[in-house]
Each structure stands twice: as structure tokens, then as C-alpha cells.
Structure 1
Amino acid sequence: MKPFHKYLPLVLLLGAASCSIEKTPYDGLPESEILKTELGLRAATDGNYTIIKESDYTRNLYIMNEYQGDNITLSGTTTDPLFLTYTYRHTADQGNTLQIYKKAYAAVIGCNKVINAIKPGTSAALDQALGENLFLRAMIHFDLVRLFGRPYTQSPEANAGIIIKTDLTADDNAKRATVKEVYDFIVAELKKAAPLMTVQKNSSYAGAEGAAALLARVYLYMGQNDLAIEQANKVINSGRYTLATPAQVPDFFAVNNEDNKEIIFAIKHTLKDDRGWSAIGSMYYTSPGGVGWGEVYASQAYQDLVNKFDNDKRRSFLVKKLTSTGEQEKRNGINKVYITKFSNQGGIATLSSPVVLRLSEMYLTRAEALAKKGQNEDALADVNLIRKRAGLSGADLYSATDLKGLASVLEVVLQERRLELAFEGHRAFDLFRNNLPLVRNYPGYHNTQNGQQTVPANDKQVVHLIPESEIVLNPNLKQNPL
């Protein structure tokens, strides 16, 4: 049996004459034919979007990213491996890590085949396809290095990252690159991708602004503040995106991503992609019709934060489950407060197109970088813009003389990131990349004795373990510290 990077067939979408990531992939044509034509290469590219849309990748990604944070609480134990992520009890045979690891590299190999088949400058359409695959390859490497490699701020030249995969060979002896090498690779990929993507497409596809947005995030993680600002500015000044209004915020995630002017890139899901009880949103919400597990709730700490300001429209993403008499319903003594950011697209309780990049993040990226450069007034201006988006004004905004009890402008920015980007998979990374501890002092099953847990940024469990089955197959693939 070969490991993750065995030779995989390309996928071609049904109805190739009108390629779309909404179609179903199949292996209907020989790979040699697919890679020779513009239509086939476009179809193969769309097939790569389909791979990352699969549950093994997207569901695991958003669970593994978010369940490490302090915005959610799990109301009981479960045999689902998400419990190991949530409790920081990672194992080498953890199901979700193996699933995402294998699926991610399957998508990377799909991208590699397209990338290797296109000569830059052949046509605008092929350059676009090349750029999209470079973007996807960079994004996937970034997703993996955050899960399996330590934060960039912790000795990136020494710490092991992931395997950088750019070829098609069945080489079973590849070694993990360092965290720094992986980040340098991601930066180079995105720089190559951006100028190739000259065709403006909707947010279901990568584009030049998407490459800039992801690059801004990567630079922020690297502590390259000037470069993070530069890339965020490219997106903000492009004129392609508009922040939601306060009136639009409550329905922000229920609107199709193509119709949402703030979204830069989303992993598009249509009705036929609805995962039902296996959807991301199923763990967060039970619909009035009884669909969804609804066993993961907003933490008391997050509720207290978002409820500080009565006019904050972001409170609308939290829904209290009440008894027939109007009392707060509980599960195992924990208040049922549902989260709806991954629900109700098109009125379907478990359907959503997870948002990867949006304009509001760019303002907060710029704000954090500005705060770290000591440009506090500019940083607060960006934070206040996001607060106004949420319906806040007047005394609810920050000023240099009123940080509302916080010790620094950087704390203000990080708190606003927590409020705005909650449940989207940012919080634990925001803490650890800033060498801050994760503190969970609220009810939940992260600690069944007293509900308290503190995870230092340098704890060995802030990263997942490489799947043991892959290490067995590759003697050069070294494990993270146990």
C-alpha cells in the first residue's frame, strides 16, 4: 500500500462543455487527453475544487481549526475524533488527522498535474487555471502546516513543518520541510499565482485578490507586518469587495457566497453537497425541524464578550434553545446556545459554503500589523470600521484614550478578531502565533472536573500528530513530540 502521495487519477467533471465546480467528478476520460486541452485542464481544475469540498477535508478543517479555541464548548464526550482535537489529547491514530492529511495531498497532486501541464503565457484562460491551482496548492500547504507544524514565531528554522509536494512521483521517502521552508514555499506560490489570474470570477474561485488576501494572512503569521499591510491594502483598494452593512450582518452566512459582496473566497457548496447530519453546522445547531446534533455551543466566555454591547449584530449568530416554558434549555448542565454561521444557506439547516477569506479579515489583518508597528490611531480606525459594520457606534467605539479596560491596542485588535471571526477557525492560531495561552475557564467537557483548562503557546499539544499509518509507510517522515 502506498502512502498519501501515490499516483492518483485526475477527475473530469460531468458536462465538460460547461465546466463548473458544482458538477460531480468522474474518471471518464484518459488523463493524457484531459491534460492536453484547455477544456480538459479547466475541468481538471474544477475537479480540484471538488476534492477540497469533500467532507474529509472541509469538515475536518473547520472542526480541527475551531475546536482548539475558546469560543466553543462541547456539552459531552463523543467517540468522534473531534473530541481529541477539542481536549488537546491528540493521538497518532486520530481519524480526522488521517482523513484530512490524505485528502489534502490528493488535492495537491491534482493541482500538480495541472500546474505541470500548463506553459505560462499560452492563453489568458490557461494562465487563469494555472494561477488557481497554484493558489489551491499554497492554501492546502498552509492549512496543513498550521495543523501539523508549530507556530512560525517558535523557531521556524528548526521545527518540522510538512512535506512540500510539487511532483507526481510515488516517492515514499519524502522528508518534512521546516516550518520556515513551508512558509517560504507558500509565499512564493501565491506571488506566482496572483499575476496569472486576470479573469475576474466569483468568490467560488480563486483570483488575484484571493491570492493577496491569503498572502496577507500568511505574512501576518510570519510577523512580516509591512508586507501584511501591503497585501491587505491590495484587496481593500481593489474596489471589488464591500463590507456588509449592519442590516446585512445577521444573514451574512445564509446568502449564497456569489451574492455576498464581502466574500473573497469560499468553498462552494450547493444543495446536492448538503452533508446533512455530517455537516459542519450539524454539530452547532439543531433546526426547529430537528435536523442537526446541536451538541457544540458558544462558550460562556464568548457569550459574555459579544453580549457586552446591546447593538452588536454579531449576537444574531447565537441562538438560545429554550424550553416550552421559555427557560434556557441545557445539556449536561451546559446552556444550549446554538451557532448558526454554518447553517441555513438557501433555507437548508445544514447547508453552508464555508468562507475562507473575506474583506473584514483584511481590515483586521491590517489593524493587527499597524498595532504591532505602533500606529495605534490607524489600527483603531480599522477596528472601529468593523465595529460599525456590526452596528456599533458612539461610546461603543474605541479611541486612544478609551480602550475599554484593555491594556493595549493590540489587545483591542485581537479581541475584535475574536468577535468578528468567531467559529471560522482563527482563534487558537491567533493566540498561539502571538505566544499567548489558550484559557478556558467556563463550563464544558475540555475538563470534566472543573471546566478549566489552560494551554500554553509552547505546549506540545498545540499541533496535531502526523498520522502513524503514514509514518509506517515512510521511514523519513518524523513524528511530532509525543
Structure 2
Amino acid sequence: MKKQILHIAVIGTLLVGGTSCEDFLDVKPEGVLLEGEAISNQADIERVLNSIYDVTANVYNGRMQAWGTLLGDNVARPRTSTFMQEVYGRNTNIFNSDVSAVYLDAYRTVYRANWLIENIDLVDVEANRRREILDEARYLRALMHFELVRYFGQPYGYTTDNSHLGIVIKTRTERELIPRNTVAEVYDFVISELKDVTKRLPTSNGVYATKYAAQGTLADVYFQMNSFATAAAYADSVIESGSYSMINTFDRYESGTNTEIVFGGRSYPSTNDNRGGSFSGFYRWDNVANPNPEFTMSQDFYDLVASNPDDLRDSIWMAVLNENAPNQLVVQSKFNYDFMDVPIVHLTKLKLIRAEALAMTGSDLPTAIQDINDIRTRAYGGTTQNLDGSESVSEILTAVRYERRVELMCEGDRGHELKRLGVLGEINTIRGADWDCPGQVLQFPSVERSNVFVLNDEGGC
């Protein structure tokens, strides 16, 4: 009864905005009838699962990634959007509807996963499929907790015991007012869930969650924790599985072309289903007579990439419009497609994780160098910029961190990366402000106000 991921006609339009405190968590999967109505067979449970994938894809359609990009140092100030300017300016508040819409969608994923887990036994489901459905739901639930804690709490390592506040761990649908969990508790929950589902999720599952998706997410989680040996091990498990291969082009987001995707949102032109719509909305510039995209690249970042004439990414992923004029813009070309697949866990990122993690532990440097060279061979159109194997650990780290900054531009990684480096003591500021100032953490939406929920400090950067 499996349907294509994120291509479910029964779901309908997702609710965004206008959500009161009373109905914040009580969001049913649109088009899916729940307990006491019509959950009567395995097909109905499958539809609920599909609705979880659907809202997950909406979270990742470019809106959440925009936060990580704007909190970094690769892009210029948004051109017109007040709410996105607040993110860039590190001054979000409870009334920022762009932030609250994504936050609520992420918790809709969590709510639906919890509902499915609580109610799957309403009907008979074949035993192996039952276990797989539950594990897929738990994977998506853990993924949302990981993403949210990185945006709404200071990073792992901000305090020595990670007792600083993160988000609320939600594992049931019951409406209740409870305080925020610590960052340590959220990470412990995410790791426990991912490790458990990794034991049973299949290695092949179409475009649905797999064992490798969970392992790749664990690599990302441990890397964010600066737990390098474990991050390298999980990345290695996925890379060496042989299930994924590097693409030779720069079309990471073009629909249907990416053999690197371990897990992600998939678009279907045949049904006019585009899962990267917000990427297009923020960045696309090639489809209008007078381009004026909301997000543009900073001149400093463009100059950095363009300073190496062999780097193809400055001309393929960026362009200069109205050069030398007062209205000059450096635009991003990575998302100039009508339909996009959205990589969430993918091979390029896993190679960058493994390379840096191995360098940080001083182990298996040849593999770290090969991972960097795999990316550089594509980026520079040949091997002229490849490392030769004689590099020191420091030189390898410089290389991989540069490649990460450029390769993952505008994919939502940069802000997290800078705060991770701040925890390591390797940077002090981001765009002139302390890397850990209050505004580097997003403010919760107004629906969270209660006498037990502590909001984040605002501004102060």
C-alpha cells in the first residue's frame, strides 16, 4: 500500500498560521479520518504515515533551511521580508509568523507520529509492516526534534553538561503544559530513537526512511555534538554501503537527478508537485525579466569563492547582475528549477562530515583526503586542486571547512556550522556579533506562552 513519498493527494492543504494555543497540537492529518471515524484497516494507517512524510517535506521546502543560512555569513540581508530580516538581524520575537509557521509544522510532524504510534493497534497490521511503520514514524519524530533544538536552543556544548534549555520533547498527543527539556535531554532522546530504529529499518525502502537515513542522521547529530569518532563511524556506514554515488554535475536540487540522496523530499512534475517551493521563492532569479530575489549572496562570500579561478561553483551556483552598478546583486543559481528534490541526508554532506571527523581524531587521514578530493574534483572540474596526501591535520581541516562552506551554501548548514565551531573555541563572532549571543537562537511563537514555558531571551547581539 506504499505510495510515493510526499505525493499524496488525500492530504490536502496544510494549515499554517492562525493556530491558537488551544489547537496547536491537536492538528489532524488533513484528508485522513482518525479514531472513532474511519481508521479501519492497514490502508488507513498507511495514509496517516504518508501524512507525516508530507508535512515533513513542507518543513524542509526551504523555509527551515533559510534560518540556518540567514544566521550564517554567506548571504546578504533579505531584501524585503521583515520577518526574515529579523532572523538575519538576530532579533526574532514571538510574533514572527514565518518562524512560527515552520515551528508549528515541525510539531505537526511530531503530533501525527505520536498519534500513529498510539493508535496503530486500532486495526490489524501485518507484524513486519507494523514494526516498519512505527520505526518510520519514530525516525521522522526524532528528526524534527533534532532540527528544532538546534534553532531554538544554544548548541550542544554551550554549557559543560548541556543543561541549558532546548525544546519540549513530545512523545504523546495528550495536550499538556510542560516545561522545556534541556539540550542534553533532547539529544539523548534523539540518539536513543535513531539508534533503536536503525536496528530494524530496511536498507532499501524506496524513497521512504531507511537504515541508512537513520545512520546518516546520527552522523549529523554526533558531528553537531563534536563527537567525532562516532560521527565518522556512522557516516562511514552509509558511504561504504555502496547504495549511493556521487553525482558529477552541480544539479543537486534538480528533480530526479540526484543519486546521492539518502533521504529527502521528492518532487513530481507529472502532478505539479514541487517540494522545494520556498527555495525557489527565496532565491530564484532566472524566470523574470527584472530579477529581484529575496535572498542574495554577500559580496565577501562571492569574492572568496571567485578568488580561485578554477572553482566552477562561483559561475555555476552564483551570478552577478547589474555589475558595477548601484543595484548590483550577487544571486544564487542553485535553485533555478521548476521542480526540485530536497536532499536532507546526502552523500556530499556525509563525506564532509567523515573527512572533518577523521581529521579531528587524527585517524585515517588518507580517507579524509579522498573525501575532500571527491568533492574538489567535481568543484574544480579536475584534479588540479586536489590534496596530494602530504597535508597536515591543520591543512586538511582548513580544506574541508572551506569546502563545506562553499559546497553547502544556502542549504541551511552554515549557521549551525559556525556555532559548532564557536563551541570548539575556533571562532568568536558571526558577522560581528558573539557566536552565542541571545539572538543567534530563535524565539518561540506566541502559542508557547504559559506559566511553565520559559521563552528565549531576545536580541542582545
**TM-score past 0.5 threshold:** yes
2:354 corresponds in structure 1 to 366
Equivalent residue, structure 2, for 1:240:
243
Q: Which structure would you say has the larger RCO, counting Cα contacts within 8 Å and 6 or more residues apart?
A: 2
Task: Say which SS state the counterpart of residue 370 (structure 1) adopts.
Answer: helix
Q: Tell me, what secondary structure is at the counterpart of 2:157?
A: coil
Matching of residue 107 in structure 1 with residue 96 in structure 2: no
TM-score by length of 1: 0.81
Paired residues, what number?
Answer: 430
List gaps (5 residues or longer) in structure 1: 12-25, 441-452
The alpha-carbon distance between structure 1 residues 31 and 342, as it changes in their structure 2 partners (threshold 3 A), is: farther
Q: What residue number does 1:458 align with?
A: 436
Asked if 1:7 corresponds to 2:26, the answer is yes
Asked if 2 retains the 8 angstrom alpha-carbon contact of 1:34 and 1:44, the reply is no
Partner of 2:421 in structure 1? 434
The equivalent residue for 2:219 is 216
Alignment partners' CA distance in 2, 1:282 and 1:159: 35
For the 8 Å contact 2:352–2:400, the answer to whether it is kept is yes
SS state at 2:344 partner: strand
How high is the TM-score relative to the length of structure 2? 0.85
Contact 2:63/2:102 (8 A) holds in 1: yes
Matches of 1:3 and 1:206 in 2, distance apart? 32
Distance 2:145 2:101 in 1: 15
Question: In 2, distance between residues paired with 1:31 and 1:46?
Answer: 17
Establish whether residue 470 from structure 1 lines up as the match of residue 448 from structure 2.
yes
Question: 1:437 deviation in Å?
Answer: 4.1
Contact 1:465 1:479 (8 Å CA) reproduced:
yes
Q: Distance in 1 between matches of 2:226 and 2:291?
A: 40
Alignment of 1:405-444 (within 5 A): 408-435=395-422, 436-437=426-427
Partner of 2:199: 195
Contact 1:263/1:358, CA 8 A, preserved across alignment: yes
Shift of 1:92: 2.6
Change (3 A) 1:432 1:362: same
Q: Residue type of the partner of 1:475?
A: N
Q: Report how far residue 433 of structure 1 moved.
A: 1.0
Aligned 1:6-45 pairs, distance under 5 A: 6-11=25-30, 26-27=31-32, 29-32=33-36, 35-45=39-49
State which drifts further: 358-367 or 375-384: 375-384
Partner of 1:206: 209
- For 1:75-474, what aligned pairs fall within 5 Å after superposition? 76=79, 78-118=80-120, 122-155=126-159, 157-171=162-176, 173-198=177-202, 200-203=204-207, 205-245=208-248, 248-249=249-250, 251-256=251-256, 259-271=257-269, 272-274=272-274, 279-290=278-289, 293-322=292-321, 328=323, 333=326, 335-344=328-337, 348=338, 351-375=339-363, 376-399=365-388, 401=390, 408-435=395-422, 436-437=426-427, 453-471=431-449, 474=450
Going from structure 1 to structure 2, the CA distance change for 1:64 and 1:4 (only over 3 Å counts) comes to farther
How big is the shift at 1:310? 3.2
What is the deviation of 1:397?
A: 1.7
Structure 2 counterpart of 1:161, which letter? G
CA contact (8 A) 1:149 1:160 kept: yes
Give the superposition deviation at 1:157.
2.7
CA separation in 2, counterparts of 1:356 and 1:284?
Answer: 18
TM-aligned CA deviation for residue 374 of structure 1: 2.0
What stretches of structure 2 of length at least 5 have no aligned partner? 1-19
Is contact 1:75-1:334 (8 Å) kept?
no
Quick one: which amino acid aligns to residue 179 of structure 1? V
Pick from 71, 85, 89: which aligns with 1:68? 71
Q: Residues 99-134 of structure 1: CA distance to partner in whole angstroms, max 9, x if unpaired?
A: 122221111110111223347995332322222111
CA gap 1:310/1:150 in 2 versus in 1, 3 angstroms: same
Residue identity opposite 2:258 in structure 1? N
Q: For the residues of structure 1 that align with 2:428 and 2:36, how far apart are their CA atoms?
A: 50
Determine the structure 2 residue equivalent to 1:17.
none
Over 3 Å counting, the alpha-carbon distance change for 1:189 and 1:4 in structure 2 is farther
What CA distance in whole angstroms lies between the structure 2 residues aligned with 1:394 and 1:477? 54
Deviation at 1:201, TM superposition (A): 2.8
Q: Identity over the aligned pairs, expressed in percent?
A: 27
**1:274 to partner: Cα distance:** 4.2
